[in-house]
């Protein structure tokens, strides 16, 4: 037991010694590491201090340079101000003095050669007289220049003094050119020219200060490459900038783009309108070719012959003379066939306008538009219902013939308003409506005729043609009055436009004046019981 305990004690001692040794080594290493870290930290701090010191030094140097530059600028500004204050307009005076001296040398040389032979009391006086002459010429020029300067300040022109000054200058310049060449001649002219420019500048400055000169407005500027590559758009932008006082280049370019877009839109709209007009003309021509023939009523029964319609000749009937009445003249006043019993003579052959309609060479107005399907359908229905009545009227005696039914747009027993011709004056005023060809005007003007329906006669000579819209307008007014309303101009026009009738310009005024003149008759028709239509229907039946 003792040996074992001794051995264990030794082992423990060795372990303790080893642990102490390890601890000592660890402490030494930690101490060494701490010293190294401390040294590194001191080095880093030293480098940081050096960098900070360098930055501070640079900032200080920059501040010194800025202060020196500011001081130099102030010194230069003060020097220029003192120089300008001290010299003022003396710089140009020095230039003028040098130019005068140069010119004086040239004139002196020229006069000395000419006066070399002048002697007095044995003395050669050529040099003296040459100097006196050159000085006199230069002083004359200076004196005239001073007169011009004072006159300009008073607002005068001083043409005589200016002409004398430039005469002296021209003479001295010519003398210098002949004796010393172009350099001396140019120097003798440089002084007076500089003086004139100086005086002009001072005068302009005074005018600007007094507000008598309008400063040139600021214009937008574009780089050279835009002018080269986009010359016309840039020129348009500059033109708009000058016209509307634009100073921003972007605003000027935007304005030019807007103008170009507007022009392009206008061209597109014009092209579309032209195409639409051409399509409407083609449609109208086709409708005119496909429109059925409308039989004509008896000339004696209706009181007026029937016009040719749709490019096809209407059927003719016989009058009291037994001869056929050729229904080729448009509806209008009583013709010669009704007065003398003779048949109506045929008019010249029809012609075709640009839109494809066959136009009789008479004083007629515009034909109704064929692009309205409702009106064309109504006309076709009325035409299909009229042959029986026409045959019955033709077979009956002239005294017992019944009245023919009116067309869809007529309420007066006459032709529809769309087929009535204009008077000669109205037709003459519409020359060129059908293809730009003149309308025949050799027929005398139709006088004002009383209406068969009881309306007061109206003389429309020289007024717009409203025969195509007047019957419909009368019916509209009657319908409004029958319902207890008050017809107005706008209501009547809106109703007409709703029916597809065109009313514009002077036609509106003429139509409304006519309706106002017929207001009593229209009111009576609106108040009276509607028996006339029933009686007419029974008579036809």
| Sole residue written with tokens 């066939």 | 337
Residue range 255-267: mean pLDDT, rounded: 93
Residue range 50-58: mean pLDDT, rounded: 92
d(CA 506, CA 421): 18
Q: Residue 166 has what pLDDT?
A: 92
Strands 358-359 and 317-318: unpaired
The gap from C-alpha 230 to its chain's centroid, in whole angstroms, comes to 21
**Residue 74 in this model has a pLDDT that exceeds 90:** yes
Percentage of the chain beyond pLDDT 90 is 21
**Residue 539 in this model has a pLDDT that exceeds 70:** no
Which token pair is 345?
Answer: 């003579």
Could you report the per-residue pLDDT of 300-311, keeping only the tens digit for each?
A: 444 444 444 444
Q: Residue 538 has what pLDDT?
A: 42
Q: Residue 288 has what pLDDT?
A: 61
Cα Dmax for the chain = 183
Lowest mean pLDDT among 51-55, 443-447, 493-497: 443-447
Strands 123-124 and 317-318: unpaired
d(CA 430, CA 89): 79
- More confident call, 44 vs 380: 44
d(CA 31, CA 456): 136
Q: Residue 468 has what pLDDT?
A: 84
Can you state the angle between helices 182-210 and 126-153, rounded to 10 degrees? 20
d(CA 475, CA 453): 13
- More confident call, 320 vs 23: 23
Banded pLDDT at 454 (limits 50, 70, 90):
low
**Residue 477 in this model has a pLDDT that exceeds 70:** yes
Which token pair is 46?
Answer: 């030293």
User: What is the DSSP secondary-structure string of 144-171?
Assistant: HHHHHHHHHHTT---HHHHHHHHHHHHH
Q: Which of 446, 376, 411 is nearest to 532 (CA)?
A: 411
Q: Mean pLDDT: which of 361-375, 445-459, 493-507 is highest?
A: 493-507
Q: Which of 193, 200, 187 is nearest to 166 (CA)?
A: 193
* Nearby residues of 361 by Cβ (< 8 Å), 6 or more positions away: 347, 348, 349, 350, 351, 439, 440
- Overall pTM > 0.75: no
Cβ neighbours, 10 Å, residue 203 = 15
Q: Which of 362, 408, 366 is nearest to 384 (CA)?
A: 408
Please list the helix, strand and coil fractions of the chain in percent, rounded to the nearest 5, in that order. Answer: 65, 5, 35
* Nearby residues of 202 by Cβ (< 8 Å), 6 or more positions away: 89
Whether the CB-CB separation of 293 and 314 falls below 8 Å is answered with: yes
d(CA 191, CA 92): 8
d(CA 363, CA 434): 12
Strands 351-352 and 324-325: unpaired
**Residue 526 in this model has a pLDDT that exceeds 90:** no
Whether the CB-CB separation of 464 and 505 falls below 8 Å is answered with: yes
Q: Residue 237 has what pLDDT?
A: 94
Q: Which of 514, 465, 467, 468 is nearest to 487 (CA)?
A: 514
* Nearby residues of 180 by Cβ (< 8 Å), 6 or more positions away: 105, 106, 109
Can you state the angle between helices 126-153 and 90-114, rounded to 10 degrees? 150
Partnered with residue 351 across adjacent β-strands are 359
**Residue 353 in this model has a pLDDT that exceeds 90:** no
Whether the CB-CB separation of 506 and 466 falls below 8 Å is answered with: no
| Averaged confidence pLDDT in the chain | 71
**Residue 502 in this model has a pLDDT that exceeds 50:** yes
For residue 422, which phi and psi values (nearest 5 degrees)? -80, 165
d(CA 379, CA 505): 27
The gap from C-alpha 277 to its chain's centroid, in whole angstroms, comes to 26
d(CA 240, CA 262): 14
Q: How many residues does the chain have?
A: 541
Could you report the per-residue pLDDT of 16-34, keeping only the tens digit for each?
A: 888 988 988 999 999 999 9
d(CA 113, CA 106): 11
d(CA 239, CA 151): 40
């Amino acid at each position: 037991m003792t040996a074992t305990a001794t051995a264990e004690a030794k082992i423990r001692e060795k372990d303790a010694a080893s642990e102490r040794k390890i601890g000592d080594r660890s402490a030494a290493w930690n101490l060494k590491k701490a010293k190294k870290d401390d040294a590194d930290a001191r080095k880093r701090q030293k480098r940081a201090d050096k960098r900070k010191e360098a930055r501070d030094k640079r900032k200080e140097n920059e501040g010194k340079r800025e202060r020196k530059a500011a001081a130099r600028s102030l010194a230069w500004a003060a020097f220029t101000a003192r120089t300008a204050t001290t010299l003022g307009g003396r710089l140009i005076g020095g230039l003028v003095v040098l130019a005068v001296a140069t010119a004086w040398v040239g004139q002196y040389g020229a006069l000395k050669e000419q006066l070399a032979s002048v002697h007095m009391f044995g003395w050669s006086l050529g040099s003296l007289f040459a100097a006196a002459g050159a000085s006199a010429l230069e002083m004359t020029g200076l004196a005239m220049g001073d007169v011009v300067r004072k006159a300009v300040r008073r607002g005068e022109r001083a043409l005589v003094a200016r002409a004398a000054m430039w005469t002296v200058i021209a003479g001295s310049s010519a003398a210098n050119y002949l004796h010393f060449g172009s350099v001396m001649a140019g120097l003798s002219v440089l002084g007076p020219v500089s003086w004139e420019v100086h005086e002009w500048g001072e005068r302009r400055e005074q005018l600007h200060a007094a507000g008598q000169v309008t400063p040139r407005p600021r214009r937008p500027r574009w780089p050279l490459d835009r002018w080269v590559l986009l010359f016309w758009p840039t020129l348009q932008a500059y033109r708009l900038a000058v016209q509307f006082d634009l100073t921003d280049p972007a605003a000027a370019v935007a304005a030019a783009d807007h103008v170009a877009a507007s022009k392009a839109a206008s061209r597109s709209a014009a092209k579309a309108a032209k195409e639409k007009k051409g399509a409407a003309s083609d449609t109208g021509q086709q409708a005119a070719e496909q429109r059925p023939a409308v039989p004509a009523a008896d000339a004696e029964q209706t009181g007026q012959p029937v016009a040719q319609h749709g490019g096809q000749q209407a059927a003719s009937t016989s009058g009291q003379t037994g001869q056929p009445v050729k229904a080729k003249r448009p509806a209008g006043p009583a013709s010669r066939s009704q007065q003398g019993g003779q048949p109506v003579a045929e008019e010249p052959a029809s012609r075709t306008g640009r839109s494809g309609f066959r136009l009789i060479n008479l004083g007629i107005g515009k034909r109704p538009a064929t692009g309205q399907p409702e009106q064309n359908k109504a006309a076709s229905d009325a035409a299909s219902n009229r042959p029986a009545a026409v045959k019955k009227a033709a077979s009956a005696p002239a005294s017992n013939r019944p009245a023919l039914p009116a067309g869809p747009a007529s309420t007066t027993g006459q032709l529809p308003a769309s087929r009535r011709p204009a008077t000669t004056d109205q037709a003459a005023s519409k020359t060129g409506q059908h293809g730009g060809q003149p309308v025949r005007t050799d027929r005398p003007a139709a006088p004002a005729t009383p209406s068969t329906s009881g309306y007061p006669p109206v003389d429309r000579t020289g007024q717009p043609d409203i025969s195509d819209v007047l019957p419909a307008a009368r019916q509209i007014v009657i319908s409004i009055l029958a319902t207890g309303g008050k017809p107005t101009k706008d209501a009547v026009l809106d109703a007409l436009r709703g029916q597809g009738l065109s009313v514009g310009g002077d036609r509106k005024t003429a139509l409304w004046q006519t309706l106002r003149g017929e207001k009593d008759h229209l009111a009576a028709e609106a108040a009276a019981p509607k028996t006339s239509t029933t009686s007419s229907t029974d008579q036809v039946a």
